[in-house]
Structure 1
Amino acid sequence: MQDYLIQIAYTPEAVATLVANPQNREEMARSLIEKLGGKLKGIWNSLGDYDLVEIATLPDNVSAAALSMAILAGGAIKISRTTPLLSLNDGMEAMEKASKLEYKPPGNF
């Protein structure tokens, strides 16, 4: 199972609908994620470029892509950004692996 940061920006029409008729979208998000075999860890409204932020655990990248496709197909979302998250231990392991690589930028052969 993989943790993902999911950032969502609504269309102006969806924002207008939510302002006129406030709705808690947590159960909808939870239902979609659970149908994919995942778990919603948390959901927040946010300020800035994105209106909603979720942390979810999903089985794999295919499930994450399916979730993104499903919510974008509904027409109320203009941007859905999904970022796989690494635990700090996984990040340390990646740093260890990177330390053994010898990358040479273009022009430095």
Structure 2
Amino acid sequence: MAKYLVEANYLSKGINGLMKEGGTRRRAAVDELFASLGGKVEALYFVFGDRDVIIIGELPDNTSAAALALRVNAAGVTTCKTTVLLTAQEIDHAVTRSGTYRPPGQDTPYEVANWEGEGGHLAGGS
């Protein structure tokens, strides 16, 4: 199963609902939502900052993740942003795959020789 990070924000009605229900009932509702789509919640945290809730969960596929986001956003009391999470092993597999890419303004494809520093800028290829 694929892992996802769901970042949610409560709108006014959502905050009122949270205040009425409390955190554990909201957690149960989120668990039920994930389960109804064939997944499960690994972690749920209420947070300070530009998000109100962060959820890490598993779902069968991107279609299930899209269905979750559509249901949550359509309800009109919460908005969510979904990010696919990749394991270290998935990245190991990804870096072994080759592909052809022609950067904008270049006439020939660019092969990545290595990454330059923290910024991820491409360093001299062939």
Q: TM class by shorter-chain length?
A: 0.7 to 0.9
Paired residue for 1:81?
81
Q: Which amino acid aligns with 2:39?
A: G
Superposition deviation, residue 17 in structure 1: 4.3
The within-5 A match list for 1:83-98 is: 83-97=83-97
Query: Distance between the aligned counterparts of 1:23 and 1:65, measured in 2?
Result: 26
Task: Report runs of 4+ in structure 1 exceeding 6 Å deviation.
Answer: none
Greater Rg by CA: 2
Query: Distance between the aligned counterparts of 1:45 and 1:72, measured in 2?
Result: 18
Query: Distance between the aligned counterparts of 2:60 and 2:101, measured in 1?
Result: 32
Unaligned runs of 5+ in 2: 108-126
Structure of higher RCO (CA pairs closer than 8 Å, 6+ residues apart):
1
The percent identity for this pair of structures is 33
Superposition deviation, residue 96 in structure 1: 2.3
Query: Distance between the aligned counterparts of 1:106 and 1:75, measured in 2?
Result: 40
Structure-2-length-normalised TM-score: 0.75
CA gap 1:15/1:4 in 2 versus in 1, 3 angstroms: same
Q: Which amino acid aligns with 2:101?
A: Y
CA RMSD of aligned residues (A): 1.6
Structure-1-length-normalised TM-score: 0.85
Q: Which amino acid aligns with 1:48?
A: G
> Deviation digits for residues 38-75 of structure 1, max 9, x if unmatched?
01101001122210000110011111111111111221
Matched, 1:13 2:13: yes
